[in-house]
Amino acid sequence: MKEIKVGIIGFGTVGSGTAEVLRCQAENLRRKTGLNITLARVADRSAQSLPPEFAQCPLSNKAEDVLNDPAIDIVVELIGGIEPARTLVLGAIARGKHVVTANKALMSTAGREILAAAAEAGVTVGMEASVAGGIPVIKTLKEGMTANTINSIMGILNGTANYILSRMTDERLPFAEVLREAQDKGYAEADPSFDIDGIDTAHKLAILIALAYGINIQLKDIHVEGISRIEPIDIVYARQFGYRIKLLAISINHGDHMEARVHPTMVPENHMLASVNGAYNAVNFNGDMAGDILLYGQGAGKMPTGSAVAADIVDIARDIAAGAINRVPGLAFVEDNIIKGRITPMEQLRGAYYFRMSVMDEPGVLANIAGILGNNEISIESVIQQKRQEKGPVPVVIRTHQATEKSVVQAMNEIDKLDICAKTPVIIRILE
């Protein structure tokens, strides 16, 4: 039986998960592929030893030992971050080795360079695990929906943020309290900013956009807002209006330009994405031929992410066994056909909006606000003005008809400057 040898760099959560998947699925994979896919070497900067079930596998503290092992066919990079991951991946490619990575920071910033080098060298770089953990979203884009022009991408791509919003919704608890609880349970990092500020989601959206449209995109092109300003009261109003609040990655394809944005969004409660709760992820691709296709599952975690890494390893093993080179382009499109792409400026966005303002409860306040909205050509669908229960500002909640982002930003700046406005208004875009 043909042997395919795998080397893992980085034996943390995903690295040990991948090793475990390869170990416990070995017989299953032999039945499916007719190949022996084995872990041949592990490199980890700090590990002193491997768990007993991997005792026969050589361990080094230098990543180069994996790159320089001539027996290794596939190098699995699981150290995260941009450097030294980038140098190691390029080094593996230069040595004619295939690469699998779960590194979204790396692939969303240096992906183009890495995949071009791989195409040149005739090796494959698999990155399924970099977006949505165990869910085969990249395979679906590159293969399952290949005969489609992608009209839109909408995704819940960060389990921590979705967990926090779900808990806030179910338990009516404030953001800070739920975050603390999530940190205590290990669902959120000590520094949670990557997750809750939308940066992690933006990394993943950048990868999906590149693969969906065959364009070059840079992280800075993506408009990003996090969830830390959402309050339980927003969730209550959202429910009243028939919505759930989700941190969505959104891209809409307008042909000669594409939207690229990450922000809290009111999702209609009968939309499948509204039913995605807890730490789960989901992505909806709309294709011009297939229509909506949604994929749902665990977007993180040791074994689900290990499952996606292993799927890439098996894909490459099958290519090796079949003698196939560059079978599917790394970026879904043949390198020469990747175009510059233009991202829609945020101010050109059109949609419905939810505003929550904290205002002093004085006569004429609503007339004042409505006047500013009217002057900016924003028409109001409904207003809820809460009665004052104690001293201090009261919330005014407004849902608009279709308006442009430009006029909304202008109007909110004007309202924010009013003396009666106690806090900067909260703005949530509504998905229609």
Active site residues per annotation: 204
Residue 134 CB, nearest approach to a copy of itself (Å): 4
Separation of alpha carbons 360 and 393, rounded Å: 4
Strands 98-101 and 74-77: parallel
Q: Are the C-beta atoms of 230 and 161 separated by less than 8 Å?
A: no
* CB nearer a copy of itself, residue 311 or residue 343: 311
273: Cα within 13 Å, side-chain hemisphere:
28
Q: Are the C-beta atoms of 158 and 200 separated by less than 8 Å?
A: yes
Report helix, strand or coil for 344: coil
**By the rule CB under 8 A, 149 interacts with a copy of itself:** yes
* CB nearer a copy of itself, residue 313 or residue 421: 313
Q: Between residue 184 and residue 223, which ones bind a copy of itself under the rule CB under 8 A?
A: 214
Q: Are the C-beta atoms of 428 and 358 separated by less than 8 Å?
A: no
**By the rule CB under 8 A, 120 interacts with a copy of itself:** no
* CB nearer a copy of itself, residue 293 or residue 380: 293
Q: Judged by CB under 8 A, which of 82, 94, 147, 384 binds a copy of itself?
A: 147
How many Cβ atoms from other residues are within 10 Å of residue 423's Cβ?
A: 13
**By the rule CB under 8 A, 367 interacts with a copy of itself:** no
**By the rule CB under 8 A, 140 interacts with a copy of itself:** yes
Question: Of 246, 221, 224, 245, whose CA–CA distance to 235 is shortest?
Answer: 245
Report helix, strand or coil for 155: strand
- Token pair, residue 225, equals 């807002």
Q: Judged by CB under 8 A, which of 295, 397, 411, 415 binds a copy of itself?
A: 295
**By the rule CB under 8 A, 322 interacts with a copy of itself:** yes
Question: Of 140, 130, 145, 23, whose CA–CA distance to 78 is shortest?
Answer: 130
**By the rule CB under 8 A, 256 interacts with a copy of itself:** no
**By the rule CB under 8 A, 375 interacts with a copy of itself:** no
Separation of alpha carbons 312 and 243, rounded Å: 37
Q: Which residue stretch of 30-38, 42-50, 396-404, 408-416 sits at the interface with a copy of itself (rule: CB under 8 A)?
A: 30-38
Residue 289 CB, nearest approach to a copy of itself (Å): 4
Binding site for a copy of itself (CB under 8 A): 21-22, 25, 28-34, 128, 134-136, 139-140, 143-149, 214, 270, 272, 275-277, 287, 289-298, 301, 303-304, 306-308, 310-311, 313-315, 318-319, 321-329, 332-334, 337
